[in-house]
Chain A
């Protein structure tokens, strides 16, 4: 093998290695949320809410949804520094206070996006009113787009 060919091979190899070492941006979702879908009580049909308002108790100046329209699923964040999180929820004209109880554990999203917390719902969702009603489908709360809770109203 000639010297020139060796240099060429080395250059190609270097490109492969350098390419693999270049920092990449984060394109992934980094926060796990409860994915809650809306359903009609009795029929069990999927619903689209006319208006949704959601915020953490004591955090009404920082609203997650404020009279949002056309939603059939909402994403509810959980507080990693606590083992429960409570929210004010208003679907159309129905209001409720809802509390999630959970344990948390660390999860690597990716090298680029770093670490986050995943959660496991440890108790049924606590709510003040008979309706809406809440049914836990998947207790593992992650960044994956999977249904966790069904809200019947």
Chain B
């Protein structure tokens, strides 16, 4: 019996270092991050009919997760010359969700992020077709669609990476994989472009954001 106790105690003593190792804590700061997208403004230099301003605020809720609130405004103009029409869309969007940092806390240190985000998005926008035309048996026909407001809903998966460049200053990018839930426009007047989502004639719309972030630690 004594031997059994001795073995048991020895085994426990062997396991203690393992527990102690598990309880080692590296101080990882919890941050509030404020970010602005620069991809949209830079893209508008190339295509001045597509102007976007957007950014986000994230708050770390633990060492691996952050709650995120994004918002933005987009103005979009499109002209199709082969099957002639003009199209205008503008509006605001918000997205709420969570970022999951796949790096271990000891690697991330509150400065590095390589993970995946999940978002729900809401877009309130106005679209208009100032003019369109086509040709059929009776000749050329023309038309227009007056300005009208809609509300669209979408879901988003956004893998990405971010890294600290200087103290409290980060850069990073994320790919946006968006899935339209409801465009609000009906089948006949599908939105060509929904702010925050993209091409809403299709269910799936990809995109990219490149962020500059300011990181404000609020807890260690």
Taken together as a complex, chains A and B put the C-alpha atoms of A79 and B189 apart, in Å, by 20
Per-residue 0/1 for B128-141: is the Cβ within 8 Å of any A Cβ (1 yes, 0 no)?
A: 01001010111001
Interface size (B, Cβ < 8 Å)?
Answer: 30
Q: Which of A6, A108, A113 is most buried by chain B, counting CB atoms within 10 A of its CB?
A: A108
Taken together as a complex, chains A and B put the C-alpha atoms of A114 and B143 apart, in Å, by 12
Taken together as a complex, chains A and B put the C-alpha atoms of A10 and B208 apart, in Å, by 10
Taken together as a complex, chains A and B put the C-alpha atoms of A77 and B188 apart, in Å, by 19
Residue B145 interfacial (CB < 8 Å): yes
Stretch among A90-98, A115-123, A130-138 lining the B interface: A115-123
Contact in complex: B173, A81 (CB < 8 Å):
no
Taken together as a complex, chains A and B put the C-alpha atoms of A56 and B161 apart, in Å, by 63
What's the nearest-Cβ distance from chain B to residue A88, in Å? Answer: 13
Stretch among A13-21, A37-45, A66-74, A145-153 lining the B interface: A13-21
With a cutoff of 8 Å between Cβ atoms, the chain A residues found around residue B163 in the complex are: 1
Contact in complex: A31, B143 (CB < 8 Å):
no
Residue B38 interfacial (CB < 8 Å): no
Contact in complex: A10, B80 (CB < 8 Å):
no
Residue A30 interfacial (CB < 8 Å): yes
Taken together as a complex, chains A and B put the C-alpha atoms of A112 and B87 apart, in Å, by 12
Stretch among B9-17, B57-65, B67-75, B199-207 lining the A interface: B199-207
B83 partner, pick from A17, A106, A113, beta carbons under 8 A:
A113
With a cutoff of 8 Å between Cβ atoms, the chain B residues found around residue A26 in the complex are: 82-83
Contact in complex: A17, B207 (CB < 8 Å):
yes
Contact in complex: B199, A1 (CB < 8 Å):
no
Taken together as a complex, chains A and B put the C-alpha atoms of A26 and B80 apart, in Å, by 11
A80 partner, pick from B129, B143, B145, B201, beta carbons under 8 A:
B143
Contact in complex: B134, A115 (CB < 8 Å):
yes
Residue B96 interfacial (CB < 8 Å): no
Residue B7 interfacial (CB < 8 Å): no
What's the nearest-Cβ distance from chain B to residue A24, in Å? Answer: 11
Residue B98 interfacial (CB < 8 Å): no
B129 partner, pick from A13, A105, A115, beta carbons under 8 A:
A115
Contact in complex: A112, B137 (CB < 8 Å):
no
Taken together as a complex, chains A and B put the C-alpha atoms of A116 and B78 apart, in Å, by 17
A20 partner, pick from B114, B137, B206, beta carbons under 8 A:
B206
With a cutoff of 8 Å between Cβ atoms, the chain B residues found around residue A112 in the complex are: 80, 82-83
With a cutoff of 8 Å between Cβ atoms, the chain B residues found around residue A17 in the complex are: 206-208
What's the nearest-Cβ distance from chain B to residue A10, in Å? Answer: 7
Please judge, given known A-B contacts A6-B161, A13-B173, A17-B206, whether A111 and B199 are in contact too, CB under 8 Å. Answer: yes
Please judge, given known A-B contacts A77-B137, A79-B138, whether A115 and B85 are in contact too, CB under 8 Å. Answer: yes
With a cutoff of 8 Å between Cβ atoms, the chain A residues found around residue B129 in the complex are: 106, 115
Per-residue 0/1 for A43-62: is the Cβ within 8 Å of any B Cβ (1 yes, 0 no)?
A: 00000000000001001001
Contact in complex: A106, B188 (CB < 8 Å):
yes
Binding site for B on A (CB under 8 A): 1, 6, 9-10, 13-14, 16-17, 20, 26, 30-31, 56, 59, 62, 64, 77, 79-81, 85, 105-118
